Amino acid sequence: MPFPSVAYNEVSYQPDKCWRGPTWLPVAYLMLLLLDKAAYNAEAMKARLILYRAIIRDGNIRELFNSQTGEGLGAHEQGWTAAICLKLNLEIPSETLACYNDVP
């Protein structure tokens, strides 16, 4: 999972402990915008696909995601995650999305 809330090599990193390592979708989406602005388009698209896939695979529109496994964590049915999922769906080309959704 891209964009953990703490660097992987940070001593306090824990991939599933609130602010010490998981991926939070609102922050991750801001990072995508920064990658786009810096013209890291391929990297941004790869991250979009990974994030989108984690949301869809989880199916519960979770609050945050384990930054190692992509497992959904925290509260479910989060509005910001739903909004970001819809936005990612619009930003990923449909032919790419169709191919990517076939991968387990």
Q: Report the candidate in 65, 89, 68 with the shortest Cα–Cα distance to residue 76.
A: 65
Q: Going residue by residue through the chain, which has 104 residues, state the pLDDT in tens, using 9 for 90 and above.
A: 999 999 999 999 999 888 899 999 999 999 999 999 999 999 999 999 999 999 999 999 999 999 999 999 999 999 999 999 999 999 999 888 777 655 44
Annotated domain spans of the chain: 23-101
For residue 82, the SS3 value is: helix
Global pTM reads 0.89
Which secondary-structure segment (H or E) carries 65? Answer: strand 64-65
